[in-house]
């Protein structure tokens, strides 16, 4: 994919909402690509699939800078500036999010734009003759995978959402599908799309040239996460969903090409020189080192003034802001803390900042054109989800075995030893909280924490959990604001206006 990911296809469909008899107003734009005329060759489909993958890079979908919609909603990061950009970014961490928030609307639209790209491919792929049927099936599976992970973002954040699985051509089609469907229906579509890829000839793992495309190992891992989320979210079939989660997570785990997780140093996971060879990585968004358009900016963006650890680009501000609540949760001597965060002691900036994503190489230049990939799925996630599902099934001994795999790699005492420590036992008195703690330490700043919280706590439990934290460790965002409404985001105001009945607002907004 590396050779093609940067060839971006912009597929657009012009929807005429009104008729006009003036011929000069109906002229065709010579620079536009008409979807009906586009799909003719296998390469046309490939470029369209690459365009769908490209949509993942956006900071408004899943890209490296999309933490506003996940990490900043959680107790890991935030911002101590409540005035910039009309204060709209601050609303996420402050639990004062409004339906009119323009960042929220941009996120919603970008997720549906990615879904539209997939739907256009799937609605037109039959027009093309393929020399090999397997190639066609693989392209369709990739489009369905992208659609699935976009809907996974939507349903976890908003609950019931419109479900569209075909290219929409007319205004009547748009109107007919502008309504929120039950969460179960959305999850069923996600599962169907992911399973479709398992019946394709996609490889278990992508080769180096295919890094950034989905594989069967990644599909199994995502299916495991989806079923685990369904078990926590949907009232029915919890036991069946847990069984399915365990099945697909084990399938992903058994595909691994390494023995023990400890064989892979934690620092290797984020090393830009090993991003194509690290055996822990299952799915990532590819960024191109040194390229002005397709490079990563996360290393430079996170660096605090006076520091040089992340990037050669000279920083001017505080960098990536994190909460003292996260700093204080790391255990003593946890190597993940020393690698992931650092205290800046500049005369004008004295604060903790993020160092997990680094590229201070000459190839990245002093402009900060880094080569960090955005990791969306890796084996430590699979292992800790196996710990979680076994804990939920009452198999604590098995859950602890998986938990200890991650702790051992981090140089931490095994769980049996740790829980005998009064400090650890007081902070994490249950196995559930111990697993949540491990996930927090392992995946800090990887856009996981908010989803971990809403998967493990009901809305009421989440309020209790967050309000128990000291305000002094949370920055200026007010913990007192959080209520049960904050389990879900508000439906963007403009979407509700389309049809206040069918696009009803979430409670509390």
What letter would DSSP give residue 285? E
Over residues 328-356, mean pLDDT: 97
Over residues 251-265, mean pLDDT: 98
pLDDT attached to residue 24 = 32
Kindly compute the dihedral angle of the four CA atoms of residues 355, 360, 366, 368, in this order, to the nearest 10 degrees: -50
pLDDT attached to residue 20 = 35
pLDDT attached to residue 32 = 53
Return the H-helix or E-strand segment holding 282.
strand 281-285
Round to whole Å and give the CA distance between 288 and 294. Answer: 5
In tens, the pLDDT along 63-118 reads 999 999 999 999 999 988 888 888 999 999 999 999 999 999 999 999 999 999 99
pLDDT attached to residue 31 = 52
pLDDT at residue 288 tops 60: yes
Round to whole Å and give the CA distance between 272 and 243. Answer: 36
Mean pLDDT of the chain: 93
Round to whole Å and give the CA distance between 107 and 58. Answer: 9
Instruction: Copy the structure tokens of residue 441.
Output: 């330490």
Round to whole Å and give the CA distance between 115 and 205. Answer: 24
The answer to whether 94 touches 338, Cβ cutoff 8 Å, is no
Return the H-helix or E-strand segment holding 449.
helix 449-456
Round to whole Å and give the CA distance between 132 and 157. Answer: 39
Neighbouring C-beta atoms of residue 84, cutoff 10 Å: 10
Return the H-helix or E-strand segment holding 281.
strand 281-285
State how far the alpha carbon of 74 is from the alpha carbons of 92, 144, 325, 463, 465, in Å: 9, 29, 11, 12, 11
Round to whole Å and give the CA distance between 40 and 89. Answer: 43
pLDDT attached to residue 246 = 98
pLDDT at residue 35 tops 70: yes
Instruction: Copy the structure tokens of residue 158.
Output: 């908003």
In tens, the pLDDT along 348-402 reads 999 999 999 999 999 999 999 999 999 999 999 999 999 999 999 999 999 999 9
3-state secondary structure 342-408: EEEECCCCEEEEECCCCCCCHHHCCCCCECCCEEEEEHHHHHHHHHHHHHHCCCHHHHHHHHHHHHH
The answer to whether 160 touches 186, Cβ cutoff 8 Å, is yes
CA angle at 206 for the pair 205 and 211, rounded to the nearest 5°: 135
Residue 378, φ and ψ in degrees, nearest 5: -145, 170
Round to whole Å and give the CA distance between 339 and 229. Answer: 29
In tens, the pLDDT along 409-463 reads 999 999 999 999 999 999 999 999 999 999 999 999 999 999 999 999 999 999 9
State how far the alpha carbon of 240 is from the alpha carbons of 160, 230, 232, 243, in Å: 22, 10, 12, 5
Round to whole Å and give the CA distance between 199 and 370. Answer: 36
User: If DSSP codes are grouped into helix, strand and coil, which group holds residue 409?
Assistant: helix
Residues 6+ apart with CB under 8 A from 502: 178, 179, 180
pLDDT attached to residue 53 = 98
Residue 452, φ and ψ in degrees, nearest 5: -65, -40
Instruction: Copy the structure tokens of residue 302.
Output: 């996170």
Return the H-helix or E-strand segment holding 339.
helix 335-340
Sorted by where each begins, the domain ranges of the chain are 298-372, 384-469
Of 351, 374, 349, the residue nearest 297 (C-alpha): 374
Q: pLDDT tier at 2 (50, 70, 90 boundaries)? A: very low
pLDDT at residue 223 tops 60: yes
Within 13 Å of residue 393, how many CA atoms lie on the same side as its CB?
Answer: 21
pLDDT at residue 22 tops 60: no
Round to whole Å and give the CA distance between 471 and 490. Answer: 25
The answer to whether 79 touches 88, Cβ cutoff 8 Å, is no
Q: pLDDT tier at 23 (50, 70, 90 boundaries)? A: very low
Q: In the beta sheet, which residues pair with residue 350? A: 345
The answer to whether 289 touches 359, Cβ cutoff 8 Å, is yes
The answer to whether 217 touches 205, Cβ cutoff 8 Å, is yes
Q: How many residues does the chain have?
A: 509
State how far the alpha carbon of 409 is from the alpha carbons of 228, 397, 492, in Å: 24, 19, 42
């Amino acid at each position: 994919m590396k050779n093609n990911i940067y060839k971006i296809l912009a597929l657009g469909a012009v929807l005429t909402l009104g008729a006009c008899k003036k011929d000069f107003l109906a002229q065709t734009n010579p620079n536009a690509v008409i979807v009906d005329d586009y799909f003719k060759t296998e390469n046309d489909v490939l470029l369209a699939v690459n365009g769908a993958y490209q949509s993942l890079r956006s900071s408004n979908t899943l890209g490296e800078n999309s933490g506003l919609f996940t990490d900043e909603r959680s107790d890991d990061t935030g911002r101590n500036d409540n005035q910039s950009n009309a204060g709209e970014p601050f609303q996420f961490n402050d639990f004062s999010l409004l339906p009119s928030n323009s960042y929220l609307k941009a996120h919603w639209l970008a997720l549906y734009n990615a879904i539209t790209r997939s739907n256009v491919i799937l609605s037109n792929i039959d027009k093309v003759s393929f020399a090999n049927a397997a190639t066609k099936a693989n392209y369709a599976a990739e489009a369905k995978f992208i659609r699935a992970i976009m809907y996974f973002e939507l349903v976890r954040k908003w609950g019931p959402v419109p479900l569209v699985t075909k290219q929409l051509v007319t205004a009547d089609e748009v109107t007919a599908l502008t309504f929120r469907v039950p969460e179960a229906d959305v999850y069923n579509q996600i599962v169907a799309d992911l399973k479709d890829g398992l019946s394709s000839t996609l490889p278990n793992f992508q080769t180096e040239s295919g890094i950034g495309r989905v594989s069967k190992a990644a599909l199994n891992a995502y299916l495991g996460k989806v079923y685990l989320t369904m078990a926590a979210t949907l009232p029915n079939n919890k036991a069946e969903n847990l069984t399915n989660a365990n099945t697909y997570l084990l399938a992903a785990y058994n595909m691994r090409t390494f023995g023990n997780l400890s064989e892979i140093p934690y620092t290797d996971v984020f090393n830009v020189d090993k991003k194509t060879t690290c055996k822990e990585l299952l799915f990532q968004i590819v960024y191109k080192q040194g390229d002005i358009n397709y490079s990563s900016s996360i290393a430079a963006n996170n660096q605090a003034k006076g520091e040089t650890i992340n990037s050669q680009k000279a920083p001017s501000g505080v960098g990536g802001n994190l909460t003292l609540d996260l700093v204080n949760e790391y255990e003593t001597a946890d190597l993940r803390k020393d690698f992931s965060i650092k205290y800046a002691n500049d005369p004008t900036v004295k604060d903790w900042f993020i160092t997990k994503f680094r590229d201070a190489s000459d190839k990245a230049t002093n402009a900060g054109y880094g080569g960090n990939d955005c990791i969306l799925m890796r084996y430590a996630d699979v292992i800790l989800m196996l710990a979680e599902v076994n804990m939920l099934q009452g198999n604590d001994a098995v859950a602890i075995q998986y938990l200890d795999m991650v702790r051992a790699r981090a140089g931490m005492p095994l769980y049996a030893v740790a829980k005998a420590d009064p400090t650890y036992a007081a902070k994490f008195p249950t196995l559930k909280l111990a697993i949540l703690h491990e996930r927090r330490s392992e995946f800090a700043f990887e856009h996981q924490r908010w989803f971990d919280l809403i998967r493990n706590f009901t809305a009421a439990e989440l309020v209790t959990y967050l309000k128990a934290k000291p305000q002094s460790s949370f920055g200026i965002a007010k913990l007192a604001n959080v209520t049960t409404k904050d389990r879900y985001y508000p439906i963007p105001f403009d979407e509700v206006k389309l049809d206040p009945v069918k696009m009803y607002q979430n409670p509390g907004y």
